[in-house]
Structures are given as C-alpha cells and as structure tokens.
Amino acid sequence: MKLIVARHGETIENANGIIQGQQHGCLSEKGIKQAKMLASRLKNEKIEVIFCSDLNRAKDTAMEVKKLHPNAEIIFSKLLRERYFGEIEGKEKSKLGDIDIYSLDCCETQESLMKRVGEFIDSMPKSYGCALIVAHGGTNIALTAKILGITFEESLNMGKITNTGVNIFEPFPKLKLFNCSEHLN
C-alpha cells in the first residue's frame, strides 16, 4: 500500500497565530490555494480512499483533493483530530508568554495523542493500493512516529509539518518522502 499523509491548508487562525487545537478553523485565501495545489499535485495518484480529520480545515482541504478523485471513498475520523488544547484554544500564542503550552494541565497529553493515532493506524484497512490521510501538524507528527516506530520527539525533530506538506510511506510503512511542499512553489 502507498500511504500519503498531508496537512490541511493554512487557516485564518494559523495566519493570526491562534491556537486552534480541536476548533474547526477556516481556510484562508492562501489555504484554499494551497489545497487546490495539493489536489493538483496528487491528481495522478490512484487514491482509493481519503481518511480525514472531522475538523473543517482538514475536510475543506480533503474535498479539494476529492474533486480530482471523485471515486475515492472519504472517511472522516475524530481519531485524526489535532491535539486538544482545552482553555487556550482560540487564544493568540503571543499573548500566552513563554509558557510551554504542551505542559499545561488543560491540554491533551502527548501520550494520549499517540494512543489515539495508534488506534487509527491499527484500525485502518491496509488493503488499499493508495490511501490519503488529511490531518493536522501535530497529528501528522504523531502518525509518522507511530508508523515508523519512533518517539514523538524523534518525529518532531525531523521538522515541522508545513501546511499541505506531504509525507509518503511506500511501501507502507517505509518512509519515502517527508514534509514535501514543492507543489507550493
């Protein structure tokens, strides 16, 4: 199986430094353009299924890809949501000071995020020739870690996932491409 993992396009909230977490977010004009460029990049792939976070920013990105893959089944999953940031969701990062937001009690733990994406990977059918996952930066770091059997920190050290950045595992679970955004040039 070939597994392609992509992050959603830029949101208005991304552009304004707002912590989204599990809030839906809204693609910015740039994000809509990025989603269309991602779809164009993937147009020659034989995508049979699109697994997608149920949050609107991921849905809207996935729907751009689906336009060029009308026969692909689309499956939305809460397991692919971004990390939950509790009471700081919707707040500007710059107004929170120098605190480590990942250590706050209101936030979903790294362990919980890893467990959640692990559940998704374990339940995902591996019988497709080509599958696409559209999710979020933190989720995609966790997915990469789970697939490769490395820690979250090791995956994070590979680099931040850019908006519509593409990871390809082919043959699954071998990593062929990480965080490629050449389609945006």
Q: What pLDDT is recorded for position 128?
A: 97
Q: What pLDDT is recorded for position 27?
A: 98
Q: What pLDDT is recorded for position 151?
A: 97
82 carries an active-site annotation: yes
**Given the residues 8, 10, 13, 69, the one annotated as active site:** 8
Pairing of β 166-169 and β 2-7: antiparallel
Q: What pLDDT is recorded for position 155?
A: 97
Q: In the chain, which residues have pLDDT < 70?
A: none
69 carries an active-site annotation: no
Q: What pLDDT is recorded for position 98?
A: 87
Q: What pLDDT is recorded for position 111?
A: 96
Task: Supply the pTM of this predicted model.
Answer: 0.96
Q: Is 30 exposed, middle or buried (0-12, 13-18, 19+ CB in 10 A)?
A: middle
Q: Domains, the chain, ranges and CATH? A: 2-184 (3.40.50.1240)
**Given the residues 10, 64, 82, 108, the one annotated as active site:** 82
Q: Where are the extended beta strands (E) located within 23-95?
A: 49-53, 73-77
Residue in this structure with the two tokens 């605190």, named with its chain if needed: 99
